[in-house]
């Protein structure tokens, strides 16, 4: 089946166009937009790891190496669309408009970190594997019933394809032809489980056949392939044709989380042929005359300043309200939980 799902690529590892049909669609604005956001979220990601190591942030899930997949897909969205992320997709949500400070708060266990901007439809990150796929299908169905052209995107990893929610989400979306794109980032591992022990299928994209929807494999480290293929899937959905499954083949450069040691389960030289998506874009910019030293330097300074300001904002937040652990579980608090809350608050008052 693998030969039926070749990996679509527009720019190769050395930054040269291999599909010249997109040459006229790639302009300076798109190139700079992709580079700006990829550099921006990488700066955020590396800062978050440093903060965790300093004890200023909780356990964190890094995404370095997957910037092209997340930024390219998020930039193809419209402002009224829906995003259903996992715990590793803060590059996509920040690109789509979520506050960096709020994202830092999420990784400090704060309920405020789940709050999206009022003008963006961003669900809180799904920590349970694959639960966001049926949610995305439901939101897309609601948009279809309302008669809008809004779409939903559900991000998930390769491990999610082993969960029932994956199949339920795709089946529901297929039956009702809802406008949703299921965007898989196949980074080779579900925590420590390699893809070959996760499934017997040659590709994830081929799973689309069972649900009668288009399925594509793309180079997840080629930001142009991600952007144009995801945009095509969104356009397909907006026209009432239904869902698409995209497998973006990428690589998780670091650990699963800051509590993980990938050297325990990944061979030492595995991934050595990985070409950093940001470096690939930089090579493209140099090859085709988009590189500008002054603009690059200004962009680095701008993104660094934004991240530092977000850290400062996060650390100035007032102490968390302990009542949050009680108040945000049920729509109507059960009597037993109300008693526990009252007893706990009384205990705090006696300290």
With vertex at residue 169, the alpha carbon angle to CA 165 and CA 170, rounded to the nearest 5 degrees, is 120
- Catalytic-role residue among 37, 40, 42, 252: 252
Reduce the secondary structure of the chain to three states and give it as a string.
CHHHCCEECCECCCCCECCHHHHHHCCHHHHHHHHHHHHHHHHHHHHHHHHHHCCCCCCCCCCCCCHHHHHHHHCCCCCCCEEECECCCHHHHHHHCCCHHHHHHHCCCCHHHHCCCCCCEECCCECCCCCHHHHHHHHHHHHHHHCCCCCEEEEEEHHHHHCHHHHHHHHHHHHHCCCEEEEEEECCEECCEEHHHHCCCCCCHHHHHHHCCCEEEEECCCHHHHHHHHHHHHHHHHCCCCCEEEEEECCCCCCCCCCCCHHHCCCCCCCCCCCCHHHHHHHHHHHCCCCCHHHHHHHHHHHHHHHHHHHHHHHCCCCCCCCHHHHCCCCCCCHHHHHHHHHHHHHHHHC
The reported pLDDT for the residue numbered 128 is 96
Per the prediction, the chain carries an average pLDDT of 95
Q: Please, which residues have CB within 8 angstroms of residue 235's CB and are 6 or more apart in sequence?
A: none
Give the percent of the chain with pLDDT over 70: 99
pLDDT band at 165; cut points 50, 70, 90: very high
Closest by CA to 39, choosing from 307, 340, 303, is 303
Q: What domains does the chain contain, in order, with CATH numbers?
A: 2-320 (3.40.50.970), 321-351 (no CATH)
State the Cα–Cα distance between residues 219 and 10, nearest whole angstrom: 9
- Catalytic-role residue among 36, 265, 288, 344: 265
**Range with the poorest average pLDDT among 139-143, 150-154, 191-195:** 191-195
- Catalytic-role residue among 189, 256, 280, 290: 256
Active-site residue 256, yes or no? yes
pLDDT band at 268; cut points 50, 70, 90: confident
Average pLDDT over residues 172-193: 96
Q: Please, which residues have CB within 8 angstroms of residue 276's CB and are 6 or more apart in sequence?
A: 65, 221, 253
The reported pLDDT for the residue numbered 320 is 87
- The HSE-up count of residue 328 (CA atoms within 13 Å, CB side) is 10
pLDDT at 215 over 70: yes
Average pLDDT over residues 104-120: 95
Average pLDDT over residues 332-337: 95
Give the percent of the chain with pLDDT over 90: 90
**Range with the poorest average pLDDT among 69-73, 319-323, 330-334, 340-344:** 319-323
State the Cα–Cα distance between residues 62 and 40, nearest whole angstrom: 14
pLDDT at 42 over 90: yes
Active-site residue 265, yes or no? yes
Average pLDDT over residues 331-341: 95
Is this prediction's pTM over 0.85?
Answer: yes
pLDDT at 92 over 80: yes
State the Cα–Cα distance between residues 84 and 135, nearest whole angstrom: 8
Average pLDDT over residues 8-26: 96
The reported pLDDT for the residue numbered 2 is 74
Say if CB 103 and CB 113 are below 8 A apart.
yes
**Cβ neighbourhood burial of 286 (10 Å; 0-12, 13-18, 19+):** exposed
pLDDT band at 351; cut points 50, 70, 90: low
State the Cα–Cα distance between residues 249 and 275, nearest whole angstrom: 12
Say if CB 143 and CB 151 are below 8 A apart.
yes
Active-site residue 347, yes or no? no
Average pLDDT over residues 53-80: 97
């Amino acid at each position: 089946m693998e030969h039926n799902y070749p990996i679509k690529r527009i720019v190769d590892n050395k930054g040269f166009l291999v599909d010249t049909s997109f040459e006229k669609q790639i302009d300076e604005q798109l190139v700079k937009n992709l580079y700006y956001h990829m550099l921006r979220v990488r700066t955020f990601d590396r800062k978050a790891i440093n903060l965790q190591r300093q004890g200023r942030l909780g356990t964190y899930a890094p995404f370095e190496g997957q910037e092209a997949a997340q930024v390219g897909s998020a930039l193809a969205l419209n402002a009224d669309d829906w995003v259903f992320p996992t715990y590793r997709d803060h590059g996509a949500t920040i690109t789509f408009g979520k506050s960096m400070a709020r994202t830092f708060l999420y990784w400090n266990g704060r309920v405020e970190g789940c709050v999206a901007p009022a003008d963006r439809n961003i669900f809180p990150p799904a920590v349970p594997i694959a639960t966001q796929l049926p949610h995305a299908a439901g939101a897309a169905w609601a948009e279809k019933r309302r008669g809008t052209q809004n779409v939903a995107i559900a991000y998930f990893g390769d491990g999610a394809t082993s969960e029932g929610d994956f199949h339920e989400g795709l089946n529901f979306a297929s039956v009702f032809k809802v406008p949703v794109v299921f965007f898989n980032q196949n980074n080779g591992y579900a925590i420590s489980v390699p893809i070959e022990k996760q499934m017997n299928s040659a590709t994830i994209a081929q799973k689309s056949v069972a649900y009668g929807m288009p399925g594509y494999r793309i180079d997840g480290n080629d930001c142009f392939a991600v952007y144009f293929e995801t945009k095509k899937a969104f356009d397909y959905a907006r026209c009432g044709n239904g869902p698409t499954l995209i497998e973006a083949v990428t690589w998780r450069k670091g650990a699963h989380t800051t509590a993980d040691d990938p050297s325990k389960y990944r061979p030492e030289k595995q991934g050595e042929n990985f070409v950093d998506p940001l470096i690939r874009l930089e090579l493209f910019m140099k090859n085709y005359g988009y590189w500008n030293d002054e603009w690059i330097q200004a962009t680095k300074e701008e993104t660094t300043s934004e991240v530092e300001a977000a850290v400062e904002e996060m650390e100035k937040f007032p102490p968390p309200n302990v009542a949050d652990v009680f108040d945000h579980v049920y729509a109507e608090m059960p009597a037993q939980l109300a008693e526990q809350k009252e007893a706990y608050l009384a205990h705090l008052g006696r300290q």
